[in-house]
Chain A
Amino acid sequence: MNVDSVNKTNLSSKKFKVFKVRNDRSLGDIIFDFFNHVFFILFSLICLFPFYYLFINTISDNNLVSSGQILWYPKGIHFDNYLALLQVHDLATATFVSVARTILGTALMVLASAFVGYLVTKQKMYGRKFIYRFIVITMYFNAGLIPWYLNMSMLGLTNNFWGYIIPGIVSPFNIILVKTYIESIPPDLEESAEIDGAGYFTIFWKIILPLSKPILATIAIFGAVGNWNSFTDSMILMSGNPSLYTLQYRLYIYLTSTSDLATLMNSGGSVSQNVINSVMNMRTMRMTVAMVTLIPILLVYPFMQRYFEKGIMIGAVKG
């Protein structure tokens, strides 16, 4: 930076400050500010309130809930609903399936994206351009749902846990993101490692992976949220094997089923049927399952926030 530009920035920031002080807000400004604030606060409340409402309903007295008396704050706080969920059929399996798929699916997707993203930056690779295009083009076309389903069943991935995992491993958009990121890493680092005798795997594992943590965290979060939230693949692929349903799809089934709670509960649990029935009704049960499904997202959300922004900004650079 030369002297001139330093002076310039100083000068302009000074000017700006001076101006700000002198700049009285006009009437139009004040009205705009008022409505702007009102709008954003209202919209934030609309975004937040349903979550709050769901939560206070699950911890309030169930009789009050079923007669619609819980509106703004919880009454008769208790946590029996959450305990009673332990008695519900298949919920534990569904949770396990969801957790397993989220962890495994995300981990494999991130590793594969990182590895392929790293490989396609290697100029000396045979057929590099072809491979990169071959993968990236798939972002823009697909055969459609039915051929995809028939293909999955042909590959033996219907009613099979791996049907959740394997198709998601190669993810073109994430490969683009990682590739763009790796290209910004100084190539000298790799070259010096290569001179020291490191192979491609060593370089990938010891240099590329640690250096690309920010982008990998970003795609990991997007992948995890996607895995956790998806339910149509459960519905389409696992129709013959209910023990592989995910939590989201279970919730959907509960939401649309007309059967009463008793059929959803394990018979012969430690809590007697009458107790369960008096504690819970279908409405609170649906809400409680929804709350349980929501909790992971709400818990990790504050930590993910900054990565979300980073992710979309990197995406924006590409777009």
Chain B
Amino acid sequence: MPGTNSVLVVSKNQLNKINTWMFLLRGCAILILVSTFIPALNPAMVSGLIDKNSALFTMAVSYSSLVEGFTRAINRGWVNSSTVLNIYVSSLLTFLSVAAIVAGCCMTLGKLKLQRLGIKIIIIGCGAAIISLLLLFPAYYALCGSTNLNAVQPMISYSYLIFAIFLIICAILGIANIKLLPKPSENDKYEMEAKYKLFLMALPFVILCFLFSYLPLWGWRYAFFDYTPGLGLSWNNFVGLKWFEFLFKNAASRADIIRVMTNTLAMSGIGIATSFLPMAFAICLTEIRSVKLRKSIQVVTTIPNFISWVLVYSLAFAMFSTEGFVNTVLIKLGLEKTATNFLMSGSHIWLKMWLWGTWKGLGWSAIIYIAAISGIDQQLYEAATVDGAGRFKKIWHITIPGLMPTFYVLLLLSIAGILSNGMDQYYVFRNAANQNSIEVLDLYVYLLGLGSGGTGNIPLATVVGMLKSVISITLLMAANWFSKLLRGESII
């Protein structure tokens, strides 16, 4: 009988009710999933020796990082290694149960039979997660029996309770849902609509994107705390806007910021002021008649773009160090008496950095203009030739106007990115002699937060990075708005 399997007598009212409950169930499952990635909600935090920054997920995937914190305690005999294993196994099982809950949650997008199966899996997953959490108690009591309680700091945190409550709510919602849903008929199959299938296929990538692009935003909270690596964030060390004020009220850090901003703006500024060069390069290159020569030049000049800055530095080292090519030639020609190490000298560093950047990138940046030139309508040139235009007139009246849209877009993008000139180049060329004039914002943030063996000032570096991100995105929006105003096209 066609159609009978999908006919279910459900009133509209009841359908709405089911949808609401389903919505709550899914929301709860997602909350549970997210909280496994947040250290503050880690239910398995049963000892002060566990790194305060590890989420349940971290504890479940990395046994070694868990043991690391306990090394001393195990060696001294304060904690049994079996206790640590107990904590690990329990958090792993909890995480696996959460994975099952998530899988069940995905299944609830299917048709009735699949939906019911999904809810059953969610309920079972919640039960399993609660049992796995209970496994923490033996570990907790073992820790409480330790000979050095002060060092081991056994605890049951609020997060344990919160997590357990989440699970219980989720289980109750699951049971409620399964009661509400009509029983499937004999003919029902495990099916899912195409739109949900596609959605679920894309979901893992959305989650990856969330983990590496959105979740770091949560790290902005470090800007408001006095953070020392190893210790966690708590309301005890909440300092509000202290680091923001520190940045501008403290004379030394203000001087630093001014110096770094000057470097950043100067180097980006030189780059922007010379951003017409790739265009000129492309125009002149296309003026070379011999195709073979043109192609070879193009190949050769793009090579430097594909090597790393470390390699650029090692080439620079070979050419410009004391025993390098340039010094040898200069001495042989009698222009210099003693060799100078050009890389160690701190003078003209902005210009030198620009020259290296140009050496590396000019040929490559020209390619986009070469592509644009080949896209210009040939008939325009022919018409101009008929009208008696010479080569320079053709460049001035046809080629350059044809390239202007590309130029504008690139210019606006580089203005939007004025604060982001990267750190690779400046990091490799940095040394004692030039460090004051080479530190750009990105490099400064790195050195401030993670430099000198990881003993940096993480909150302050976060503040600087935050301000940079906010200014950058504002500039991008402004550039986009400007582009819309000017050319009626958005660039992002």
- A residues near B, CB below 8 A? 12, 15-16, 19, 23, 26, 28-29, 32-33, 36-37, 39-41, 43-44, 46-48, 50-51, 53-54, 57, 66-69, 71, 112, 115-116, 119-120, 122, 124-128, 131, 134-135, 138, 140-151, 153-156, 160, 166-167, 169-170, 172, 200, 225, 228-232, 236, 239, 248-249, 251-252, 255, 283, 286-287, 289-290, 293-294, 297-298, 301-302, 304-305, 308-309, 312-313, 315-316, 319
| Central interface residue in B62, B219, B363, by most chain A CB within 10 Å | B219
A149 to B212, CA, bound (A): 10
- B residues near A, CB below 8 A? 37, 39, 53-55, 57-58, 61-62, 65, 194-199, 201-202, 205-206, 208-220, 222, 284-285, 287-288, 293, 296-297, 299-304, 306-311, 313-319, 321, 323-325, 327-329, 359, 362-363, 367-368, 371-372, 379, 382, 385-386, 390-392, 406, 409-410, 423-424, 427-428, 442, 445-446, 449-450, 454, 458, 461-462, 465-466, 468-469, 472-473, 476, 491-492
User: Does the CB pair B371–A116 fall under 8 Å?
Assistant: no
Question: Can you name the residue of chain B whose Cβ is closest to the Cβ of A228?
Answer: B308
User: Does the CB pair B308–A231 fall under 8 Å?
Assistant: yes
User: Does the CB pair A126–B359 fall under 8 Å?
Assistant: no
Given contacts A155-B211, A251-B311, contact A71 B329 (CB under 8 A): yes
Can you spell out 14 A-B residue pairs with CB atoms less than 8 angstroms apart? A12-B379, A28-B392, A29-B391, A43-B297, A71-B329, A126-B196, A140-B492, A147-B217, A156-B54, A156-B58, A252-B313, A293-B311, A298-B303, A301-B299
Given contacts A142-B213, A142-B469, A156-B65, contact A225 B306 (CB under 8 A): yes
A160 to B64, CA, bound (A): 11
Closest chain B CB from A13 CB (angstroms) = 8
B206 contacts which of A37, A46, A135 (Cβ < 8 Å)? A135
Question: Can you name the residue of chain A whose Cβ is closest to the Cβ of B385?
Answer: A19
User: Does the CB pair A252–B428 fall under 8 Å?
Assistant: yes
B325 contacts which of A71, A304, A315 (Cβ < 8 Å)? A71
User: Does the CB pair B317–A255 fall under 8 Å?
Assistant: yes
Question: Can you name the residue of chain A whose Cβ is closest to the Cβ of B331?
Answer: A68
Residues of the B chain whose Cβ atoms lie less than 8 Å from the Cβ of A125: 195, 198-199, 202
Question: Can you name the residue of chain B whose Cβ is closest to the Cβ of A116?
Answer: B205
A150 contacts which of B53, B328, B445, B468 (Cβ < 8 Å)? B53
User: Does the CB pair B197–A200 fall under 8 Å?
Assistant: yes
Given contacts A53-B319, A255-B310, contact A309 B371 (CB under 8 A): yes
User: Does the CB pair B307–A297 fall under 8 Å?
Assistant: yes
B208 contacts which of A23, A120, A170, A304 (Cβ < 8 Å)? A170
User: Does the CB pair A47–B212 fall under 8 Å?
Assistant: no
User: Does the CB pair A147–B220 fall under 8 Å?
Assistant: yes
Closest chain B CB from A162 CB (angstroms) = 10
Residues of the B chain whose Cβ atoms lie less than 8 Å from the Cβ of A239: 454
User: Does the CB pair A319–B409 fall under 8 Å?
Assistant: yes
CB-CB nearest 3 A-B residue pairs:
A147-B219, A144-B465, A229-B308
User: Does the CB pair B213–A138 fall under 8 Å?
Assistant: yes
Closest chain B CB from A30 CB (angstroms) = 11
Closest chain A CB from B421 CB (angstroms) = 14
User: Does the CB pair B205–A15 fall under 8 Å?
Assistant: no
A304 to B57, CA, bound (A): 40
Question: Can you name the residue of chain B whose Cβ is closest to the Cβ of A149?
Answer: B450
Residues of the B chain whose Cβ atoms lie less than 8 Å from the Cβ of A293: 308, 310-311
User: Does the CB pair B315–A126 fall under 8 Å?
Assistant: no
A250 to B284, CA, bound (A): 40
A144 contacts which of B214, B454, B468 (Cβ < 8 Å)? B468
Question: Can you name the residue of chain A whose Cβ is closest to the Cβ of B325?
Answer: A53
| Central interface residue in A47, A125, A304, by most chain B CB within 10 Å | A47
B202 contacts which of A15, A116, A169 (Cβ < 8 Å)? A116
Given contacts A124-B195, A232-B424, A252-B310, contact A47 B317 (CB under 8 A): no
Residues of the B chain whose Cβ atoms lie less than 8 Å from the Cβ of A40: 284-285, 288, 293, 297
Contacts A119-B201, A151-B218, A255-B317 known; list 20 others, CB within 8 Å. A19-B385, A40-B293, A47-B301, A51-B315, A71-B328, A71-B329, A115-B205, A120-B202, A134-B209, A142-B213, A144-B445, A144-B468, A151-B216, A167-B212, A252-B310, A252-B313, A293-B308, A308-B302, A313-B371, A319-B409
A148 to B216, CA, bound (A): 5
User: Does the CB pair A232–B469 fall under 8 Å?
Assistant: no
A293 to B311, CA, bound (A): 8
A146 contacts which of B214, B450, B472, B492 (Cβ < 8 Å)? B450
Given contacts A141-B469, A232-B424, A236-B446, contact A297 B306 (CB under 8 A): yes
Closest chain B CB from A1 CB (angstroms) = 15
Residues of the A chain whose Cβ atoms lie less than 8 Å from the Cβ of B319: 50, 53
A247 to B386, CA, bound (A): 58
Question: Can you name the residue of chain B whose Cβ is closest to the Cβ of A249?
Answer: B310
User: Does the CB pair B446–A145 fall under 8 Å?
Assistant: yes
Residues of the B chain whose Cβ atoms lie less than 8 Å from the Cβ of A135: 205-206, 209
Given contacts A68-B328, A170-B212, contact A146 B469 (CB under 8 A): no
A62 to B316, CA, bound (A): 19
B390 contacts which of A12, A26, A248, A249 (Cβ < 8 Å)? A26
Question: Can you name the residue of chain B whose Cβ is closest to the Cβ of A120?
Answer: B202
Residues of the A chain whose Cβ atoms lie less than 8 Å from the Cβ of B287: 32-33, 36
Residues of the A chain whose Cβ atoms lie less than 8 Å from the Cβ of B468: 144
Question: Can you name the residue of chain A whose Cβ is closest to the Cβ of B199?
Answer: A126
